[in-house]
Amino acid sequence: QSVLTQPPSVSGAPGQRVTISCTGSSSNIGAGYDVHWYQQLAGTAPKLLIYGNSNRPSGVPDRFSGSKSGTSASLAITGLQAEDEADYYCQSYDSSLSGWVFGGGTKLTVL
Amino acid sequence: QVQLQESGPGLVKPSQTLSLTCTVSGGSLSSGGYYWSWIRQPAGKGLEWIGRIYTSGSTNYNPSLKSPVIISVDTSKNQFSLKLSSVTAADTAVYYCARASTLRYVDWYMDVWGKGTTVTVSS
């Protein structure tokens, strides 16, 4: 059971918009800690996608965006492409555990 | 550009110690301002943070881990290491090392990852 809760899977057709939620609690996201997102393509290491809730590292397309409100955060992907098919993970800090925590991951399928 | 590479035995016997090393290239471990971390991923499952070490040697570990953990750094070799004691089959996973950066020294995110190394715990 992950500290941060994500839907196991989402799907969308090419060109569509999808969102992935990440729900936490008052000891992590709700306490004001930032949320970061990672993309993991099949058989590869995770890659930083969004940091500090809504910042994109250099090279990440602006089709990817992040937001945070209350005890939750969201990753939105617009103009879905086949190459976006991957697992996505959110990450934050939890003050009760005094450490970093990940969501359980969401598998994005492009139909 | 900083790159990380994990190395170590791919097979460890139950109750023994799992030892992995992460070699940093393209940058210095002692330059400061980063955490150096270990994360693992059992086959078909999600990411689990194991622990982190700052350049000063200060460490934090995931309290949920059942096996004792030690992370250390060797600045002379530009490496940091993971030791997981008394391992069981549940410790079988792909192990990643990563560098963590920060915006305000409060929140940290992993911006550089190694490719990962598979460790199997089996007799």
Q: Give the one of A91, A99, A105 whose C-beta lies nearest to B109's C-beta.
A: A91
Q: Is B8 exposed, middle or buried (0-12, 13-18, 19+ CB in 10 A)?
A: middle
**Residue B106: closest C-alpha in chain A:** A33
Ramachandran area for residue B121 (φ above 0: left; ψ -120 to 50: alpha; else beta): beta
H or E element in which residue B99 lies: strand B93-102
B109 in contact with A, Cβ within 8 Å:
yes
- In this structure, chain A runs to a length of 111
* A1: pLDDT strictly greater than 90: no
Q: Hey, what are B114's tokens? A: 């190694």
B13-47 residue pLDDT tens? 999 999 999 999 999 998 888 999 999 999 999 99
**Contact at 8 Å (CB) between B39 and B50?**
yes
Q: Parallel, antiparallel, or unpaired for β A9-12 and B117-121? A: unpaired
**B108 chain-A contacts, CB cut-off 8 A:** 93, 100
Minimum distance, in Å, between the CA of residue A31 and any CA atom of chain B: 12
Neighbours of A95 (CB within 10 A): 12
Rounded-to-integer distance, Cα B4 and Cα B24, Å: 5
**B103 chain-A contacts, CB cut-off 8 A:** 34, 51-52, 55
At residue B3, the 3 state secondary structure works out as: strand
At residue B6, the 3 state secondary structure works out as: strand
Q: Give the one of A45, A101, A104 whose C-beta lies nearest to B49's C-beta.
A: A101
Neighbours of B31 (CB within 10 A): 11
For residue B83, list its beta bridge partners.
B19, B70
Minimum distance, in Å, between the CA of residue A15 and any CA atom of chain B: 27
At residue B5, the 3 state secondary structure works out as: strand
B39-69 residue pLDDT tens? 999 999 999 999 999 988 899 999 999 889 9
Q: What's the rounded mean pLDDT across residues A91-100?
A: 94
Q: What percentage of chain B reaches a pLDDT higher than 70?
A: 100
Tell me the residues of chain B between 3 and 62 that have a Cβ less than 8 Å away from chain A.
37, 39, 46-49, 51-52, 60-62
**Contact at 8 Å (CB) between B55 and B37?**
no
A52 in contact with B, Cβ within 8 Å:
yes
- Cβ of B115 within 8 Å of Cβ of A45? The answer is yes
A26-78 residue pLDDT tens? 999 999 999 999 999 999 999 999 999 999 999 999 999 999 999 999 999 99
Rounded-to-integer distance, Cα B61 and Cα A99, Å: 7
B85-117 residue pLDDT tens? 999 999 999 999 999 999 887 789 999 999 999
A105: pLDDT confidence band, cut at 50, 70 and 90? very high
**Contact at 8 Å (CB) between B82 and B23?**
no
With vertex at residue A92, the alpha carbon angle to CA A87 and CA A96, rounded to the nearest 5 degrees, is: 130
